[in-house]
A and B are shown apart, each in its own frame.
Chain A
Amino acid sequence: MRHLVVIPAFNEEAALPGTVARLGGLPEEYEILIVNDGSRDSTKRVAEELAARSNRPLHVVSLPVNCGIGVAVQTGYRFAAAAGDRFKYVIQFDADGQHDAEFIGLLVAQCEFQHLDLCVGSRFLKNFGPGSRSTFSRRIGIRFFARLIGLMSNVRVTDPTSGFRCLGPRAWERFAEAYPEDYPEPESLFWCARNRLNVGEAPVRMFERQGGVSSIRQLRTLYYMVKVSLAIIFDRLRRRESPAGAAP
């Protein structure tokens, strides 16, 4: 059984080669998919060059226009879905060098042995040193979402905004059909928790971003907080879905 590492990339020409190089140590059952989200720089060309040189299957899907992180990640899930039952786990991995490839195996192992549908890489379960835990203001936001999700679903998480995560088939097959468009991490985590999929966390190390621009900039922070909170509250008002095999 193979696994797919999805790397959404928007204007990441500088960081992408380093990110892909760090994935070089993964076992051969891992394939890589770079989803170029309508970048204005040469991300597409860089990704195609990396694919041509890669020893392992490295696919490049280029969205013709910039659609946002949610659509880019969902394109990865749709790619996995189109491949039939070739992939078991889909791992979301940032292009900007923030995530440590060494922990991919741990996330997959947690999913495998704890029968998780979603395992989120948390930077707060273990302290890996300075610079790895985001800024103070971001930590306040993260704690707020963790509380909100806990309150609405009774599932305790420490890092709901983490984009370093591993999804089992029940989660990614559903997300291939419907996935939040922008700032999708807390909302998709809440959806899994609320629809009785198995959600867990594993400690991961994160680095400072190596290039590109964060999708959560200062001016958009307020919009981010309001939008994601509303999305979670609205989702709570929806009827529960019944993903195959979810606990009753």
Chain B
Amino acid sequence: MTINAENLMLVGGVGAFLMTLHWVRVRELRERSAIAWLLVATLLLFTGLFPEVIERAAEWSHLSYPAAVLFVALTIIYLNSFFVSVSLTKQYRWNVRLTQQLALLEERVRRMEKDTKE
């Protein structure tokens, strides 16, 4: 097998599929998050199997083949990272709310215990 962009994307796609499936299987990645990564893997496989898609996209956008690949890759990375940041912000808010609730409840329990003793 010669090493070229198409084959690399094919190998990358298979690798991404296996990695995603493994992490979901060991419950370290939620199915919900896995969907985005499975889509990335599918896209990589698809462009590896059908390189003419990228070629046509490159021609349409007046970019060279490597530039078009880079553009697609950067778009994917950007979108994924952005939504991970959004998700982290949400998680942070939940964590803060839970932490505050825990501390307030702890104070309340301590006060009730003290009142019961008295």
Contacts and interface: CB of A to CB of B under 8 A. Distances in A.
Interface string B74-106: 000000000000000000000010011011101
B37 to A, nearest CB: 29
Nearest to B107: A61
Nearest to B111: A59
A102 to B, nearest CB: 28
A59 B106 CA distance: 11
Contacts, number: 34
Secondary structure dominating the interface of B: helix
Contacts of B111: 59
Interface residues of B, number: 9
Contact of B99 (A60, A64, A82, A181): A64
Contact of B96 (A35, A59, A67, A79): A67
Interface of B: 96, 99-100, 102-104, 106-107, 111
Interface of A: 35, 59-65, 67, 71, 74-75, 78-79, 82, 181
Given A60-B107, A63-B103, 11 more contacts: A59-B107, A61-B103, A61-B107, A62-B103, A64-B99, A67-B99, A71-B96, A71-B99, A71-B100, A75-B104, A181-B96
